[in-house]
Chains A and B, each alone.
Chain A
């Protein structure tokens, strides 16, 4: 009996040792380029993480099936490392550190939401690792951070787009706002919207109410908003909260329209919200219905592989990877030293002056922020996101 245990113990020891040896082997290989992904796979917005991961897997397959990425005449395989930031700000910085120190990635894509991208951007900038946030629209993500880039437009652009559209479409004079005070994205956009609405001089923002991330009952705030009788309500919130807010507002007798922001753009919004959401509008990065060219091709391939229409974050992740690849090719060589490679990629990124992606073409300003068009989308009676109009800077 004792012998058996000894045998098993030895076997386990051997397996552990060989695992270390194998790990050592893969360290030696220098013909792979390792890129980290900082994604919300669980927590408040799991759909966002999943969609981004799907798009990344598709890109990875394309490159590696073709024999790898051609940099300076040599082929390199890509390796993507996905880590879950639980949709939390503190976990996002932990994931960034883990990707940098343990996984030794040369660059990071993500986090998506500003709530995680703002702190994680700081971490990446301090550690001198290039980072692209696909979906973050808050200005602080890239502000004074030479190592941080993004693929989405900014809230100072999106806020006025929403304000202009609502005043034109609904003929609105007054606006109500309800937002998540503990979310950088929601709070920042609500404030920018308020400023740009009041700058238009039509009428005031009659109600400006906040709530917390974990709240499920918004009736007190909505009662205040509705009693101020706004012409429409602006809700720059995540899709899961939007579903509850709109339903509760209807229960409290509000019949007017809602205007949303790019965080609405998830197929899950329709699943959770149902027909309460139909007929409302939101500003976003692209409209899947009626797309053309490379965008259409991407959407069809994605639908074939995953059985769902890709949301804006999936398309933006695709574009972020494209930018990253272009930066690596701009760098011209692949350094075996990670630090040197990171520096080369940053140089490559800052040398991109314009980029034609599937979410439209963009130019980059000195801050690393793209200047690109926004799209306003209407939620149809079938729950589809239908193109309404494009607004360019």
Chain B
């Protein structure tokens, strides 16, 4: 029994990261119908920004205590990562949108931007891995044979909180209404006097900001950073978002946790070689039964 509970906790932590990243995919897709393949790499950039912010704040120039550093690093990392996301939108996606390029070209551009982020990181910082400093003093709690760290609790609670915040923004606020409006018909919306570019920038701020938060938490949980860390996890989170029904916030959230549970479950029962094979076979079967994803509806307003 303890064994099962421990694995559920493991899966919740791992699923939290998928959910946090999948939310970014789904937001951008919901508004722009664009799969932002660079999102996994924005997550990676977020982790690196968190590293530099934390090292700077801990360093001799400022000299904050680790916990204060954590409190300052969260908003700062989210802000700086959001800047990276907005820059990508400005430099890569907006010019294409202005020229009325087909969605396919924008998706290819996104893939390319992801590679540019990875390799510019490799070129600037080198291949050597970085060690993320310990910001939150770790306490390990034991309940029988089950152990949980405070960091795990922070990660899981953050994922749920981020979902709640995004859900609130999208369904209950005016700007959320505008986002849904663009998703519904982006040609009619400007006629209502809604600044479509501002709304799109806001979407990127939200998506990239939370990717930065995910990067910070990921770097704290797995404190070894490398330039390609965002690639695989980004693809998997994208698949999780599709299975949940891309464009739907609940879908990304549940899809992320579903993938986390399947992966951990498969590794627990089978050798790890079967992890991705079984995990993605199960997801494929879900898509056979419901091609639009768990929460998706065919061609309707999403987000």
Across-interface contacts of A240 in B (CB, < 8 A):
129, 224, 226
Q: For the complex, what is the distance from the CA of A240 to the CA of B227, rounded to whole Å?
A: 14
Q: Which of B263-288 contact A (CB under 8 A)?
A: 263-264, 267-268, 271-273, 275-276
Chain A binder among B5-13, B20-28, B200-208: B5-13
Q: For the complex, what is the distance from the CA of A50 to the CA of B128, rounded to whole Å?
A: 10
Across-interface contacts of B223 in A (CB, < 8 A):
243-244, 247, 272
Q: For the complex, what is the distance from the CA of A246 to the CA of B119, rounded to whole Å?
A: 29
In the complex, per-residue mask of A336-347: 1 if CB is within 8 Å of any chain B CB, else 0: 000000000000
The answer to whether A253 touches B224 (Cβ under 8 A) is no
Asked whether A181 is an interface residue with its Cβ less than 8 Å from the other chain, the reply is yes
Across-interface contacts of B126 in A (CB, < 8 A):
46
| Contact pick for A227, options B122, B145, B226, CB 8 Å | B145
The answer to whether A251 touches B149 (Cβ under 8 A) is yes
The answer to whether A251 touches B122 (Cβ under 8 A) is no
Asked whether B102 is an interface residue with its Cβ less than 8 Å from the other chain, the reply is no
The answer to whether A210 touches B268 (Cβ under 8 A) is no
Asked whether B127 is an interface residue with its Cβ less than 8 Å from the other chain, the reply is yes
**Contact A209:B272 (CB < 8 A) given known A42-B122, A253-B140:** yes
Q: Nearest Cβ in chain A — how far from B8, in angstroms?
A: 10
What's the dominant secondary structure at chain B's contact region?
helix
Q: For the complex, what is the distance from the CA of A253 to the CA of B147, rounded to whole Å?
A: 6
**Contact A214:B147 (CB < 8 A) given known A220-B267, A223-B10, A272-B224:** no
Across-interface contacts of B276 in A (CB, < 8 A):
212
The answer to whether A219 touches B264 (Cβ under 8 A) is yes
The answer to whether A46 touches B147 (Cβ under 8 A) is no
Asked whether A144 is an interface residue with its Cβ less than 8 Å from the other chain, the reply is no
Q: How many pairs of residues, A versus B, come closer than 8 Å at their CB atoms?
A: 89
Asked whether B111 is an interface residue with its Cβ less than 8 Å from the other chain, the reply is no
Across-interface contacts of A300 in B (CB, < 8 A):
none
Across-interface contacts of A252 in B (CB, < 8 A):
6, 147
The answer to whether A220 touches B128 (Cβ under 8 A) is no
What's the dominant secondary structure at chain A's contact region?
helix
Asked whether B142 is an interface residue with its Cβ less than 8 Å from the other chain, the reply is yes
Across-interface contacts of B263 in A (CB, < 8 A):
220
Q: Which of B209-232 contact A (CB under 8 A)?
A: 222-224, 226, 229, 232
Q: Which of B249-303 contact A (CB under 8 A)?
A: 263-264, 267-268, 271-273, 275-276
A42 to chain B: closest residue by CB? B127
**Contact A272:B222 (CB < 8 A) given known A181-B273, A224-B268:** no
The answer to whether B131 touches A271 (Cβ under 8 A) is yes
Across-interface contacts of A274 in B (CB, < 8 A):
131, 134
Across-interface contacts of A272 in B (CB, < 8 A):
129, 131, 223-224
The answer to whether A220 touches B224 (Cβ under 8 A) is no
The answer to whether B271 touches A217 (Cβ under 8 A) is no
Asked whether B98 is an interface residue with its Cβ less than 8 Å from the other chain, the reply is no
Across-interface contacts of A217 in B (CB, < 8 A):
10, 13-14, 222
A270 to chain B: closest residue by CB? B131
The answer to whether B14 touches A219 (Cβ under 8 A) is yes
Q: For the complex, what is the distance from the CA of A311 to the CA of B60, rounded to whole Å?
A: 30
Across-interface contacts of A250 in B (CB, < 8 A):
140
Q: Nearest Cβ in chain A — how far from B228, in angstroms?
A: 8
The answer to whether B13 touches A268 (Cβ under 8 A) is no
Asked whether B138 is an interface residue with its Cβ less than 8 Å from the other chain, the reply is yes
Asked whether A221 is an interface residue with its Cβ less than 8 Å from the other chain, the reply is yes
The answer to whether B271 touches A181 (Cβ under 8 A) is yes
Asked whether A43 is an interface residue with its Cβ less than 8 Å from the other chain, the reply is yes
Across-interface contacts of B149 in A (CB, < 8 A):
251
**Contact A223:B268 (CB < 8 A) given known A217-B14, A247-B223, A268-B129:** yes
**Contact A181:B145 (CB < 8 A) given known A214-B232, A240-B129, A253-B140:** no
Q: For the complex, what is the distance from the CA of A347 to the CA of B202, rounded to whole Å?
A: 69
**Contact A181:B272 (CB < 8 A) given known A223-B7, A272-B224:** yes
The answer to whether B128 touches A244 (Cβ under 8 A) is no
The answer to whether A46 touches B127 (Cβ under 8 A) is yes
- Give 25 pairs: A residue, B residue, CB < 8 Å, sorted on A: A42-B122, A46-B128, A47-B128, A181-B273, A210-B273, A216-B222, A216-B229, A217-B222, A220-B10, A220-B11, A220-B263, A220-B267, A227-B3, A227-B6, A227-B145, A240-B226, A243-B223, A250-B140, A251-B140, A251-B152, A252-B6, A252-B147, A253-B147, A271-B131, A272-B131
Having A212-B276, A220-B264, A272-B223, one finds 10 other A-B pairs with CB under 8 Å, namely: A47-B128, A209-B271, A210-B273, A211-B272, A217-B13, A219-B14, A223-B7, A224-B268, A251-B152, A252-B6
Q: Which A residues contact B (CB, under 8 angstroms)?
A: 41-43, 46-47, 50, 181, 209-212, 214-217, 219-221, 223-224, 227, 240, 243-244, 247, 250-253, 268, 271-272, 274
